Structure 1
Amino acid sequence: MATIVQFENVGLRYGTGPETLSDVSFSLGAGSFYFLTGASGAGKTSLLKLLYLAQRPTRGMIRLFGEDAVTLPRARLPGFRRRIGVVFQDFRLVPHLSAADNVALPLRVSGVPESDVEAPVREMLAWVGLSDRAHARPATLSGGEQQRIAIARAVIGRPEMLVADEPTGNVDPAMAERLLHLFDSLNRLGTTVVVATHDLQLINRIAGAHMMRIEQGRLSDPTGSLRFPPRDA
C-alpha cells in the first residue's frame, strides 16, 4: 500500500508566537477519504496549508508523494502543487474571469491544448449544477455558487490529492450532500480526499471515511496510531 502523505513530529510557528501545530504525526495511504475536525482556531487550516505546500513547517518531516516536501526546491513547487487540488475557504476565484474560465485555469496552466479544455470544463460545470452560469463573473454568483465553481476548478485536473477547507460551509444541506457525493466519486477513482469541517453530521454520510480531530494544535489519536489505509482495505 502506497503512502501518499507522511508527517513526523511536525511543528508550525508563525513569527515568534507559540506553536500553532505541535508534534503532529500521521500518514495516509493513497486512496483514503477522511475528515479533519476541530474547533475554530484549533489548527485545521494551518494543517491544510502544510498539506498543499502553502506553508513550510518550523520543524519536523513531511513527505508527499514519496518525496521530502520540506527541502523540495522552490523550482519544483509548481509541479508538485498541480498534483494537489485545493478548495479554499474564501474561494479565491479570479474576479475578471467567467465561471468557465475559472474552472479551466488548472488545465491551461498545465499546458492542456485549448481544443481539449472545453469538454471537461462543460462536464465539471454540469457536475456541480452550474451549466447555466458558465459565462457569469464571480461577483454575480452567490456564495454557494462560488463555492461550487471553486470545487469544479479544484477537481478538473483529477488531482492525486484533494484538500478542502470547509467546502460545504456556504451551501444548503441538500447541496452539501451533493458535493460530498462528488468528493466520494472522485475518491473512488483513486484521489486521496481530505475535508476539514466543523459539521460532524457530514462525517457519517461517507461510508468508510476516517476522521482526525485536532485540538489546540495537536492531533487527537485515541487509537495510538494515525496510520490510515485506503477506505476499502
Structure 2
Amino acid sequence: MTNIVQFENVGLRYGAGEETLTDVSFQLGAGSFHFLTGASGAGKTSLLKLLYLAQRPSRGVIRLFGEDTVTLPRARLPGFRRRIGVVFQDFRLVPHLSAWDNIALPLRVAGVVEADLEQPVREMLAWVGLAERAHARPATLSGGEQQRVAIARAVIARPELLVADEPTGNVDPDMAERLLHLFDSLNRLGTTIVIATHDLHLLSRVPHAQLMRLDRGRLHDPTGALRYPPKAAE
C-alpha cells in the first residue's frame, strides 16, 4: 500500500514553551482508516493541524502525497489543501452562505460548473438529513445541524485525505452512526481518513479502522496495530 502520509521525528512547539508534540513518527497508507485518541490536551488537534497544513512543525519531516511539505513553496499549498477535506471542531461555516452554498463551496473552488452542482449537493444534503434546511444560514441551524453541514462540505469533493476533529460530538447516536457509515463509504472509495475522537465506543463501528493514541504529545502504537477494544490497562 502506498503511503499517503509520513511523519518522521516530528516535533511541534508553540512559542518558547514545552513541545506539544514530541518525536512523532508514523505512516498512513492510501485508503486506510484511523481513529486518533488521547486525553484532552494530548495534542490531537495539533497533530490534525499538521496533517491539513494549517501548522508547520518545529522540527522533523512531514510528507503528504509523496512530497515534503516542510520545504514545499507556499504557492503550492492551496493545491495541496484542495486534496484534503477537513471537518473542524468549531465547524467554520461561511456565515453569509446557506447550507447549500457552504456544501457546494469546495466544488466551486475546484471549478465545477453550476449545472453539475445540483445532484451532488442535493445528495449530500439528503444523506446528512438536511434536505429541508438547504437554504438556511448557519446562524439559524442548531449545533448538530451545523456539524452535519461541515461534514458534507468536507466530503463532497471526495478528498484523497479526510481529517476530522470530533465529527460526531454534536449529533445524536443515530446520526453519529449514519455519519460514520458515510466516512466508511468514502474510505472504501479510496480516501484515507483520520478521525480524532474521545469516544472509544465509535471504534467498534468501523472494525477495520486502526487506532493511534497520543499521550502527552507522544504517539503510542504508531503502527496502528492496536484495534478495538483497547487493552484493559488503558
TM-score (norm: length of structure 2): 0.94
Q: Once superposed, which parts of structure 1, at least 4 consecutive aligned residues long, lie more than 4 Å away?
A: none
- Which residue in 1 is equivalent to 2:56? 56
2:131 counterpart of 1:131: yes
User: Can you list the C-alpha shifts for 1:30-82, whole angstroms capped at 9, x where unaligned?
Assistant: 00001000001100000000000000000000000000011111011011000
Instruction: Name the amino acid aligned to 2:3.
Output: T
User: Which whole-Å CA distance do the structure 1 matches of 2:179 and 2:152 have between them?
Assistant: 10
Moved more, 115-124 or 128-137: 115-124
Would you say how many aligned residue pairs link Structure 1 and Structure 2? Answer: 225
Counterpart for residue 27 of structure 1: 27
1:206-225 to 2 correspondence within 5 Å? 206-221=206-221
Letter of the 1:218 partner, please give it: R
What amino acid is the match of 1:203? L
CA contact under 8 A between 2:87 and 2:165: conserved in structure 1? yes
Identity, % of aligned positions:
82
Distance 1:128 1:114 in 2: 22
Decide whether the 8 Å contact of 1:27 with 1:227 is kept in 2. no
8 Å CA contact 1:31–1:193 kept in 2: the answer is: yes
Q: Look up the match of 2:166.
A: 166
* CA displacement 1:112-166 (0-9 Å, x = unmatched): 1111112111111111111110000001101010000000000011000100000
Q: Is the Cα–Cα contact under 8 Å of residues 210 and 224 in structure 2 kept in the other structure?
A: no
Structure 2 counterpart SS, 1:132:
helix
In structure 2, C-alpha distance between the alignment counterparts of 1:103 and 1:205, rounded to whole Å:
26
Give the alignment of 1:48-127 within 5 angstroms.
48-127=48-127
Q: CA deviation at 1:226?
A: 2.0
Which residue of structure 2 lines up, in the alignment, with residue 231 of structure 1? none
Listed as ranges, the gaps of 5+ residues in structure 2 are 226-234
Corresponding position of 2:146 = 146
Cα distance in 2 for partners of 1:120, 1:33 equals 24
Q: TM-score, normalised by structure 1?
A: 0.95
1:76-96 superposed Cα distances (whole Å, 9 cap, x missing partner): 101100000000000000111
SS of equivalent residue, structure 1 residue 63: strand
Would the aligned equivalents of 2:62 and 2:68 in 1 still touch at CA under 8 Å? yes
Residue 227 of structure 1: how far off its partner (Å): 6.5
- What amino acid does structure 2 have at the position aligned with 1:206? V
